[in-house]
Amino acid sequence: MATTRILEWLGRFYIVLLLGFLYLPIIIMAAMSFNASPFYQLPFEWTTDWYASLWQNDQLIAATWNSIEIAVITTIISTVLGAMASLALYRYEFRGKKVLQALLFPPIAIPWLITGTAMLIFFFGIGIGRGLVAILLGHVALALPYVIVVVSARLQTFAPELEEAARSLGANQWQVTMRITLPWIMPGVIAGGLFAFAVSFDQFVVSYFLSTPGQTTLPVEIYAAIRKGFTPEINAVSTIIIVVSMALMLLTARFFKFGGEK
Amino acid sequence: MAGVQVANVSRSFGAHKALDDVSIDFADGGFYALLGPSGSGKTTLLRQIAGFDFPDSGRIAIGGESVERVPVEKRRIGMVFQNYALFPNMSVADNVAFGLSVRGEAKATIAAEVQRALDLVQLGKLGARKPHQLSGGQRQRVALARAIVTKPRVLLLDEPLGALDKALRVDMQIELKRIQREIGITTIFVTHDQEEALTMSDRIGILRDGRLVQEGPPEEIYDRPQSEFAATFLGDANIFRGNATGNGILLADGTTIAAAVGDRLVPGAKASCAVRPERIQISTGVVKPDTGNANSLKGQVSKRIFAGNNSTYFVDRDGQTLKVIVQNTGAERLAEGEPVVLSWSPDSTVLIAA
C-alpha cells in the first residue's frame, strides 16, 4: 500500500530528525575540538593541540578530578542509602510512612536554584560552609530521591513469596536480602546509581553556589572559563567526557539489559 | 520428622477473626488436607504453622516443642508455595541448594543432597536450567525438591497444584503422594479442591469462617458429615430440612425421612438429613418393598447431564431440586419431564443437627 510506504518513510524521517536533534550539537562540538581554528572557522584543519593544551590546564584537570570524585562518592552513598530506604519502605509499615514517601518527590521538582540557595544558607548556618564537602552533601541530597524512586519501581515487580520461600529454607534477614532481594532489584540499583552519577556529574547550579575558587567542579570551572573567554579546550574536555560517559552507559545497558531481563 | 499440634489457636486481623479457637492434632508422618472455601482461614492456619505469622493466642508445637513464637527460619519446616516461588536468578540446582547453602553445609555435601532430591522428583538432569525454562509441572517438582532437601520436620503445601491443568494435576497428586510416602514426612496440605483432599489425604480438616468444622479420615467425613456445610463442601449432597423424629426427620409437607446414620436428636428439634446423589435409586415404577429403601419420594426429571460413565439427573420435587447420579449400566435412560420415584436406604441418610 502506498500510504503505508509513506508512513514508513515519515517514521524514518522522524527518527533521523530526532537523532539529529539530540546528537548534531554534540558532533559539531566534538569536530571543533579537532579543528585548528580557535574561532570555529572552516575549512576544517585537523589538530590535537587542544587536547595537548588541555593537559597543561591544571585548573581544568583538578576540577575534572573533583567532579569525578564527587560523582563517584555521591553515587556510592546515595545508591546504598537509597536502596536501603527503598527496602525499608517496601518491607515495613510504620507511622508516617505515607508522609515520608510523599515528601520524597518534591525535591525532584524544586528548582535547583532554590535548593542551592537553601543549602548555601543552611551549610553556612551549621558551619560547614562552602567547598567540596558541602558540594558532596548537596549532591547526595539531590540524588537520593532519584535512587529511591527507581529502586522502589523495581521492587514493585518483586514477588514477596520469594523472601518467604527463602526464610522457610532457613535464611536469615541478611541472607534473604543479599541473595534474593538484592539480585532482583540490581538493575534498579544500577539505574538509580547512573541517575545519581548523572545528577552529580552534570550538576552546575547547586555546585556553583557551594564551590569556592580552589574547590570547584568541572561544570563550574567550564562556566568560569567560558566567561573569561572561550577556548576549544572546553570542546576537548567535553568530548572526552561524552565519549567516556557514553561508553559507560552502553556497557551498563549491555550488561544489565534494562527492562528486558527476566 | 515430627507431628504438629495446634491447640486453641486464634488470630484476628483488625475486626476480622481469621482463626477462631482452632485445635488440630497432625499425626507424625500423616498426610493432612486443610480444606475450605477462600477466606475460611486455611492459609492463615498454614502460615501460623510455618511461622510467617504468630497467633494471638493458643499453642503450636512441632515434635512436642512449642514454636508459636519461633520465626519461620528457625522452625525447620519445608514449604511449597502456590506459585512455586522459585528464585528466578538461580538455576534449578541452586534453588534446591539454597536451604543447605544458607546453613553453611560443605559444597560436596550440598551437591550430593541436591542431586538426590532432584532424582527423587525425577528432574535429575535439569539442574542447570533456569526456572523460566521449565514447564509448570517441572517447576512444581523443583519447589518440592527445594522444600524437602533440608530434611524439614514438616512439609507445608499451600495449594501447590492450583496452577496446573487438570491432567497434570492428577499426575502430580500421585507423584506427591509417592514422595511423601517415600520420605515419610508429616505433610499439611491446603486446598479448596475437595477431590484433591479426598484422594490424597489420610485425614481432612474442613474450615469455615476461621473455625474447624469437622476433622477426620476422608471416608468418615464423607459418610458421616456433622454439618450441612461439611456434607455439601466435601462431595455433593441432597439436604432435607425439617424437625427431628425418633429416627429421622419430618418434612413440612408431612413426609418422613428415616435416617440410620448420625446423631440421635431430641424429637421436635430442627434438623436436616443429607443424602449423597449416588446413593439414591431412580425409577419410573413403584419401589419394591424388599430393597430396604425405606425412603421414597415422587418427582419429575427436570434435566439430565450425561457424562459417559454416569448420568446426573436433576429431579424436581415440591420446589426442591434433588440430584441423583446413576452409573451407566446400559439400562434405559430417563427422559426429561418424566415422572419418577426416588428411593434410598436409611443407612445412606445422615441426620444432622441444624
Task: Specify the pLDDT at position B24.
Answer: 94
In DSSP terms, which residues pair with B113 in a beta bridge?
none
* CATH architecture observed for domain A58-256: Orthogonal Bundle (1.10)
Phi, psi for B319 (deg, rounded to 5): 80, -5
* Location of C-alpha cell 508459636: B68
In order of B252, B260, B283, B310, B316, the CA distances from B339 in angstroms are 22, 28, 9, 20, 9
Residue B309 counted as domain residue: yes
> For the CA atoms of chain A, what is the radius of gyration?
23
Strands (E), B209-319: 211-216, 238-245, 248-250, 256-258, 261-262, 270-275, 281-283, 295-306, 310-317
B133 touches chain A (CB under 8 A): no
In angstroms, rounded to a whole number, what is the distance separating the alpha carbons of residues B269 and A26? 92
Task: Specify the pLDDT at position A259.
Answer: 45
- Report how far Cα A218 is from the mean position of its chain's Cα atoms: 14
In DSSP terms, which residues pair with B59 in a beta bridge?
B7
CB A16 within 8 A of CB A8: no
CATH for B50: 3.40.50.300
CB contact under 8 A, B87 and A168: no
Total tally of structural domains belonging to chain B: 2
Parallel, antiparallel, or unpaired for β B310-317 and B295-306? antiparallel
Q: Is the dihedral of CA B201, B207, B211, B216 positive or negative?
A: negative
Of A161, A179, A183, Cβ closest to residue B81: A161
Residues B214, B307: one domain?
A: no
Strand ordering across the sheet containing B261-262: B256-258, B248-250, B238-245, B270-275, B349-353, B261-262
In angstroms, rounded to a whole number, what is the distance separating the alpha carbons of residues B48 and B58? 11
Out of B223, B252, B287, a domain closes at: B223
Q: Which three cell numbers stand for residue B223?
A: 459418610
CB contact under 8 A, B102 and A162: no
A164 touches chain B (CB under 8 A): yes
Residue B230 counted as domain residue: no
Residues B217, B240: one domain?
A: no
B62 touches chain A (CB under 8 A): no
Residues B10, B146: one domain?
A: yes
In angstroms, rounded to a whole number, what is the distance separating the alpha carbons of residues A52 and B160? 69
Helix, strand, or coil (residue B299): strand
**The one-letter amino acid at B247:** N
Task: Specify the pLDDT at position B79.
Answer: 94
Which H or E element spans position A2?
Answer: helix A2-32
A-B Cβ pairs (cutoff 8 Å, strict): 66
Task: Specify the pLDDT at position B58.
Answer: 92
Phi, psi for A251 (deg, rounded to 5): -60, -50
In order of A155, A226, A245, B25, B276, the CA distances from B204 in angstroms are 38, 82, 64, 11, 19
Residue A214's Cβ-count burial label (10 Å; 0-12, 13-18, 19+) is exposed
CB B159 within 8 A of CB B192: yes
B103 touches chain A (CB under 8 A): yes
What angle, rounded to 10 degrees, do the helices at A132-155 and A58-91 form? 40
Residue B229 counted as domain residue: no
All residue ranges of chain B with pLDDT < 70 are: 1, 286-292
Residues B37, B144: one domain?
A: yes
Contacts of A161 in chain B (CB under 8 A): 81-83, 85
In angstroms, rounded to a whole number, what is the distance separating the alpha carbons of residues A238 and A250? 18
Q: CA angle, corner A242, sides to A240 and A245, nearest 5? A: 105
Where exactly are the structural domains of chain A? 58-256
CB contact under 8 A, B85 and A170: no
In angstroms, rounded to a whole number, what is the distance separating the alpha carbons of residues A214 and A221? 10
Task: Specify the pLDDT at position B287.
Answer: 60
* Location of C-alpha cell 552513598: A77
Return all residues near B335 (Cβ < 8 A) that are at least 6 apart.
B301, B304
CB A217 within 8 A of CB A96: no
Q: How far apart are the first and last CA of chain B?
A: 40
Phi, psi for B177 (deg, rounded to 5): -65, -40
CATH for B265: 2.40.50.100
Residue-by-residue pLDDT tens, chain A, 262 positions: 678 888 889 999 999 999 999 888 888 888 878 877 777 777 777 877 778 877 777 888 888 888 889 999 999 999 999 999 999 999 888 888 888 888 888 888 888 889 889 999 999 888 888 888 888 999 999 999 999 999 999 999 888 899 999 999 999 999 999 999 999 999 889 888 988 988 888 888 888 888 888 788 888 888 888 787 777 778 888 888 888 888 877 877 776 655 444 4
A212 touches chain B (CB under 8 A): no
CB B292 within 8 A of CB B339: no
Of B81, B89, B103, Cβ closest to residue A165: B81
Task: Specify the pLDDT at position B291.
Answer: 64
Contacts of B78 in chain A (CB under 8 A): 168-169
Contacts of A165 in chain B (CB under 8 A): 79, 81, 85-87, 146
CB contact under 8 A, B83 and A167: no
Strand ordering across the sheet containing B339-344: B281-283, B339-344, B295-306, B310-317, B320-327
Look up the ipTM and state it: 0.82
> Which residue in B62, B84, B217 sits closest to B154, CA to CA?
B62
> Which residue in B258, B277, B285 sits closest to B339, CA to CA?
B285
CB B265 within 8 A of CB B351: yes
Return all residues near B185 (Cβ < 8 A) that are at least 6 apart.
B1, B29, B78, B148, B152, B154, B155
Residue B343 counted as domain residue: yes
A167 touches chain B (CB under 8 A): yes
Q: How far is B295 from chain A (nearest CA, A)?
A: 53
Contacts of A184 in chain B (CB under 8 A): 88-89
Contacts of A262 in chain B (CB under 8 A): 88, 132
Task: Enumerate the H helices of A96-181 as residue ranges.
Answer: 97-104, 106-109, 112-126, 132-155, 160-168, 173-176
Helix, strand, or coil (residue B321): strand
Q: How far is B80 from chain A (nearest CA, A)?
A: 8
The domain in which residue B338 lies consists of: 236-353
CB B159 within 8 A of CB B82: yes
> Which residue in A223, A215, A224, A218 sits closest to A240, CA to CA?
A218
Residues B298, B204: one domain?
A: no
Q: How far is B98 from chain A (nearest CA, A)?
A: 7
Helix, strand, or coil (residue B197): helix
